[in-house]
Amino acid sequence: MARALTLGNGKFVVCLDSHGFVRDLYYPYVGLENQVLGEKHRIGVWVDNQFSWLDDDTWDITIGYKPETMVGYLVCKNESLALTIVMEDAVYNETTVFLRQVDIYNHADHQRDFRVFFQQVFSISESKKRNTAFYDPTHNAVVHYKGRRVFIVNGRTAVGTAIDDYSVGAYAFEGKEGTYKDAEDGVLSKNAVEHGSVDSVIRFSLSCEPEKKARLYYWISAEESLNAAYDLNELVLRKTPASMIHSTESYWHAWLKTRRHDLAGLSKAQQRLFDTSLFILRCHMDNRGSIIASADSAMMEYGKDDYSYMWPRDAAFIVMTMCKAGYAETTKSFFTFCQNVLHEDGYLHHRYRSDESLGSTWHAATSQSEWLKDKILQLPIQEDESASVLVALWRYYEASKDLEFIEDLYKPLIEKIATFLVRFRDDETSLPLPSYDLWEEKIGISTYTCAAVYGGLQAAAKFSELLDKRNHMRAYRKAAQEIKKATIDHLYSKKQQAFVRLARMKAGRVVLDETIDSSSLFGLWYFGMLDARDPLLHKTAEQVRKRLLNPAKVGGYIRYERDNYFRSKDLSNPWFITTLWEMQRAMLHPDTQIEDLDALLVNMDWVIEHRYNSGILAEQLDPYDGSSLSATPLVWSHSVYIETVLTYLERRLELQNPADPSLIHEL
C-alpha cells in the first residue's frame, strides 16, 4: 500500500497509509533505520458493544495535508457506528516526537462511551528479533526498546485522563496473530511485558454527549536511551501535545511563506500541489546531507529492497529544485555529504545510506570496486550521478553566492570529480567509458550520461573561471566540447532519426542500442549540450512524441520503448517526471509565446488528475486506469513538478518583460 502522508523534520520521519496507520518510522536518520518496516500501527474503536478497526471497509476515509502545512488531516466516517473520527498528525518540528490529535464526533441522539485503541508494532533496527516491550506503571506508558533505540508510547484525553488499559504480547510468532486481537472485545488483558517479536495495545476511554466531540492525544517519542526517552515524554506533557502540534503547524506555514512565489495564475489544486511538493522534498532531506528517493517501504513487500537511499543523481535534481525555489540553505549539507563519500578516484557510487555508508546495489563489482567486461575496465557506477552533483553545486552557488563554501569544496570535490570525468573516456572516440544508464539497467555509453558529463564539466569550468584557475577551466571546456562532438557523431541514429538510448564498443566499433529513450532528449536540452532549435534535437523530440506517448486514455510519456518495469499488460507505464520533462522543454523553447504557456499550464492538470488520493505523486501510473504504481510518494516526481511550475512562472515573466530579462530573478 502506498504511503498517503509523509511527515518529518530532517531527523525523524513518519509515513501513514490511507487508513491513517503508521507504516514507516525512520530514526535516527531520514531513511535509516525504519523502525516499523511496513507493519500496521492499527487504530480501532469500541462503542455500543461493537468494535471496528479503521481498515475493516466500514469507514469512508479522506486524507491529505492541511493547507500550507506539513500536518496531516484525516476524516474517517462510519455511518453504521454513527461517528466520525478526525485526526491531525505531525512530527514535532523541534525534536523526535510524532503527535496525533484525535477528535471523535458522536452523531447519535444520546450520550455514548467510546474506547479507542492504538496498536504498536516495532521492528527495531529493522528486525523483530530481540525486541522488548513493557508497560511502565510509574509513567503510565508503554516502552518498546532494543539497544540504543527506545520508543515511548503515551497519550492523554482532553480532560486529562491517561491510558486506562493495555497489553503487550507476541506478534506474528508461534501462530499468534498479535496482541491487537485482544482489543476486539473492548478489554485488554494487561500483560505487562514480552520480548522477541512483540506488539502492544493501549486504550483510552472517553464519554461524549450527542452531536458533540471528545478529544484525545497520542504520541510516540524516540530516543537513544530510556532516560532520554522519558525526558522527551515529560517534555510533551509539559508543553502539551496541543501546543506542539500548533507550533509545528505554525513553523511549516512560516517556512513556506518565507519563499512564497506568486502562484496567482495557477489553479487552487495546482497551488496546493506546489506547497505539498515542497513539504515532500523537505521531509525526505536529512539535516546531515542525505536526500532519500522515497520513504515508502511498501516495495519491501514485493521485492528485495525499497527507495530509502540517497541516489546522488536524484538528490542533485532535488537540490537544484530547492535552490530554484529559494531554499538553497537547506541543501548545503548535501555537498558535504558528497565530499565525505566521494571515492578517492573522483566518482560517486550507485547509492548511499543516510549515515554515509554504501547502499545496497545490483551493479556488479569486485572488492576493488571495478570489473572487466569485454576486456574493458569498467566501474559499477552511473557516471551521470557524479556529473550531476557538479551541476547542482553550480545552481547552489548561483542561488547563494556562497564563495567561501565553493573555495572549500574546490579541491576535494569539484576538481576531483571533474578530473575523473575528463579521464574516464575512450581514447579513440572521446566518449565517456561505459557505465550504467540513468535507469540503472543497461551498461554502455548512454546519450543521457554524455549530456550529464558535458553539463558537469561545464559547471566545473565555471567554478575554475570563478576562482581564476584558468588551466583547469580550459581543460574542462575542451573535454566537454569533445564529448559533445562525439555524442553527435556516435549516438545520433540516422535510421531512427533520433539520439538513441546508448552505444557499446565492440571490436573497436561503436554499436548502437537504437531504443528511443525520453532521457536522451531531456539530457541534451537540460544540460545545454544542444540548442533548443537544433534540428537533431527537433528530430529526436518528434520520435519521442511518436513512440513514447502512452496511447491509452490516461496519456503521459513512458520512459523508453518496451519498458518492462512494473509493466501493465501490453503497455509500458507513463511516469510523472518524463511527462513533465516534455512540458518544461515546450515552455523553454524560444518560439513559445504566452498563449502557448497558458495551454501548457492547462496540460499540467494531467498531473493533478493523477495524484494519489491524498494529493501526492507516485513514480509511475497504470497506463489504463491511471492508478499509482511503485514508490508513492516519489520525491523526484514532486521535484520535477515544482521545477515545472517555476519554469512556467519564469518564462511567463520573461515573455511579459522581454526588455528586462533580469526580472525573472525576482522569483
Identify the CATH number of the domain in which residue 431 sits.
Answer: 1.50.10.10
Neighbours of 535 (CB within 10 A): 9
User: Do the beta carbons of residue 97 and residue 219 sit within 8 Å?
Assistant: yes
Domain match, 586 and 557 both: yes
Grid coordinates belonging to 633: 510518494
Length of the chain: 667
pLDDT for res 365: 52
Report if residue 355 sits inside a domain. yes
Report if residue 663 sits inside a domain. yes
Domain match, 247 and 282 both: no
Q: How many domains does the chain have?
A: 3
The C-alpha atoms of residue 371 and residue 364 are separated, in whole angstroms, by 8
Report if residue 294 sits inside a domain. no
Query: Which residues of the chain fall below pLDDT 50?
Result: 366-376, 663-667
User: Do the beta carbons of residue 448 and residue 517 sit within 8 Å?
Assistant: yes
- Which of 548, 568, 598 represents a domain boundary (last residue)? 548
Domain match, 329 and 458 both: yes
- Which of 548, 566, 582 represents a domain boundary (last residue)? 548
Q: How far from 636 is each of 130, 354, 431, CA to CA, in Å?
A: 36, 17, 28
pLDDT for res 301: 63
In 3D space, the residue among 239, 207, 192, 218 whose CA is nearest the CA of residue 94 turns out to be 239
Domain match, 111 and 221 both: yes
Report if residue 89 sits inside a domain. yes
Report if residue 393 sits inside a domain. yes
In 3D space, the residue among 22, 5, 24, 17 whose CA is nearest the CA of residue 64 turns out to be 5
pLDDT for res 1: 65
Grid coordinates belonging to 49: 458493544
Domain match, 449 and 557 both: no
Q: How deeply is 420 buried, as exposed, middle or buried, from its count of CB atoms within 10 A (0-12, 13-18, 19+)?
A: buried
- Which of 489, 517, 548 represents a domain boundary (last residue)? 548
Domain match, 275 and 390 both: no
Domain match, 512 and 595 both: no
Contacts 24+ apart (CB under 8 A), 159-165: 161/204, 161/205, 162/204, 163/202, 163/203, 163/204, 164/203, 164/204, 164/205, 165/115, 165/190, 165/202, 165/203, 165/205
Strand bridging mode 141-146 / 165-170: unpaired
Q: For position 151, which CATH number holds?
A: 2.70.98.10
Report if residue 148 sits inside a domain. yes
Residue 187: HSE in the Cβ half-sphere, 13 Å Cα cutoff: 2
Domain match, 480 and 439 both: yes
Range of the domain at 393: 308-548
Domain match, 535 and 557 both: no
Domain match, 132 and 58 both: yes
Report if residue 300 sits inside a domain. no
Report if residue 7 sits inside a domain. no
In 3D space, the residue among 548, 570, 552 whose CA is nearest the CA of residue 560 turns out to be 548
Domain match, 86 and 220 both: yes
Query: Rounded to 5, what percent of the chain is helix, strand, coil?
Result: 35, 25, 35
Domain match, 248 and 336 both: no
pLDDT for res 299: 77
pLDDT for res 660: 61
